[in-house]
Amino acid sequence: MWSKLIVAQAALAAAIPFVSRNPASVLYDRGTVAGFATPIFACPASSWPPNTIGKTNGPQPPSADLASILAHVDPGRIEATIKKLVSFGTRHTLSTQTSKTRGIGAARDWIHAEFQKYADASDGRLTVETVGYVQQPDGNRVTFATLISDVVATLRGTDENRLYVVSGHYDTRNTNILDYEGDAPGADDDASGVAISLELARVMSNPKYPVPKASIAFVAVAGEEQGLYGSQFLAQTYANSTPRVNVEGMFTNDIVGSPKGSDGIVDPHVIRLFAQGLPPLAVENSSKRESRLQIGGENDTPARNLARLIKEVAENPETQMNVSVVYRLDRYLRGGDHRPFLEAGYPAVRFTEPREDFAHQHQNVRVENGVQYGDLIEFCDFDFIARVARVNGAALWSLANSPGAPTNVRVNTTALTNNSTLYWGPPLAGEANVGAYEVVWRTTAAPFWTDVIDVGLVNEVTLALSKDNVVFGVRARSKDGSRGVAVLPFPAA
């Protein structure tokens, strides 16, 4: 008979210093490979093929403005926001919307008022709106007609129709998903995410910083626990606008309140970032999917390349964080507010704490066998949440100051050759801000871009490197050095 083996990790000490795990620091040295100064067999297999063009693709350090923004993210403000949100007792989506002190309606109005304070101090840069609709009973988690409201604060950028979205959900739940009266504090799930939207809006809308090129929407949505309703409404509102809103990236922060798992292990300098592979078929039709599979492009979807860019710009001494990218939509059995954006055809990813404590989410507040259950504020780590906010801030500010992504990126496949010819068009709205285009690549088995070559202001390049052996991406860099997301070239039609 089979027996079960359980292998447990020892708990680590609580005080763990930040040690960068950025992959750029462990790449092989190109000089030694090109000149065979070290024995070639010492090179990891993933470093083949050796090449002499381009250079190592390193991280992008924060600009002076961004470093200042990150320094102003305040764990004390984050704590105050979570404390206030918890004070509404429950924020269940079906809870009261008429009380001034309890329930989701009071929480919504407080979030709106808080964003409005930042808007009032922003010199007209930040505008706040509460939008929503009435969700009819769905035969599942919504048992009566319910107003679902999203609070959206938008920092208007200078480019036409470019938007990044950062979101958390302000609704909460109990053990019983339909219990809308019992206390459901939701400190980690997901006041922590809402606190990040608020804190970044406060800091980034400060008139001492330049207005970004792209707009940024700082969002708190409702209805997540009842079926992602608030996020779905917002994604559809953007997608169905005329013209369609060009959401270049969406992040949801959901359960980002603590680095400590139920096993007692603490990872204070790690945040997980979930990024989906193949987009839904409704978004990418079967012939595009066939082409994607043919060229091995299933790991280079817009969401995955968004995640790679986030990792490049958000792992640094200013954030004190390593971004652990997980190549899947979400954790097992779980879902989140990035999904409706992916279904609307937008690149979207999810931040979640490195280890979860399931006694502290989706549980009635109670003590059982000496164990405290419930999503209580005492289990939140505000310094950790501030670091996660800085990861979001680094990514948002870099992306919003980038030119966006090149369009119609193609690889020439009309003849068999060991060279590769790539061509592309300018980003939709950010062309005036393009300082140069860059071609990035990695071997097909490598997770992140390892190499980059600056090709200048051109729209076609031929590289002495075979497209059969590496994955290419083309990205635009702004005049002040902010990289946009890389785009996988498809075979030219």
> Considering the complex, what minimum distance in angstroms separates the CB of residue 223 from Zn ion?
11
Interacting span for Zn ion (CB under 5 A) from 107-115, 182-190, 273-281, 343-351 = 182-190
Which is closer to Zn ion, CB of 93 or CB of 478?
Answer: 93
In angstroms, give the least distance from the CB of 374 to Zn ion: 15
Q: Which is nearer to Zn ion, 337 or 451 (CB)?
A: 337
d(CA 221, CA 194): 9
Give the pair of three-digit tokens for residue 120.
């009032």
Region near Zn ion per CB under 5 A, out of 89-97, 106-114, 250-258, 477-485: 250-258
Per CB under 5 A, which region of 110-118, 186-194, 466-474, 484-492 contacts Zn ion?
Answer: 186-194
Residue 189 binding Zn ion, by CB under 5 A: yes
Window contacting Zn ion (CB under 5 A); options: 86-94, 253-261, 386-394, 408-416: 253-261
Of 232 and 398, CB closest to Zn ion: 232
Cα–Cα distance, 493 to 491 (Å, whole number): 6
- Smallest distance, Zn ion to C-beta of residue 190, A: 4
- For Zn ion, give the closer residue by CB, 384 or 423: 384
* Smallest gap from residue 189 Cβ to Zn ion (A): 4
Minimum CB separation of residue 188 from Zn ion in Å reads 9
If the CB atoms of residues 150 and 254 are measured against Zn ion, the closer one turns out to be 254
CB 155 within 8 A of CB 201: yes
Residue from the set 190, 318, 357, 375 that interacts with Zn ion by CB under 5 A: 190
The residue type at 413: T
Name the minimum Å distance from CB 219 to Zn ion: 14
Closest CA to 364 of 380, 379, 375, 356: 375
CB of 252 to Zn ion, least distance (A): 9
> Structure tokens of 2?
């089979």
Cis check for the bond before 406: say yes or no (omega within 30 of 0).
Answer: no
CB 309 to Zn ion: min, Å: 24
Nearer to Zn ion, 52 or 262 (CB): 262
Per CB under 5 A, does 337 bind Zn ion?
A: no
Q: How many residues bind Zn ion (CB under 5 A)?
A: 3
- Is residue 353 within the footprint of Zn ion (CB under 5 A)? no
Tokens 């030694």 correspond to what residue?
32
Q: How far is the CB of 258 from Zn ion (least distance, A)?
A: 13
Question: Which lies closer to Zn ion via its Cβ, residue 354 or residue 430?
Answer: 354
Rule CB under 5 A: is residue 254 a binding residue for Zn ion?
yes
How far is 65 from 47, CA to CA, in rounded Å? 36
171 binds Zn ion (CB under 5 A): no
Tokens of 238: 């953007």
> Rounded CA gap, 96 and 273, in Å?
34
The least CB distance from residue 349 to Zn ion, in Å, is: 15
Binding mask 94-133 for Zn ion (x = CB under 5 A): ----------------------------------------
Contact segment (CB under 5 A) with Zn ion among 249-257, 273-281, 296-304, 410-418 equals 249-257
Pairing of strands 322-326, 215-221: unpaired
Q: For residues 486 and 439, give the distance between their C-alpha atoms in angstroms, rounded to a whole number.
A: 8
Q: Which is nearer to Zn ion, 193 or 406 (CB)?
A: 193
Interface contacts to Zn ion, rule CB under 5 A? 189-190, 254
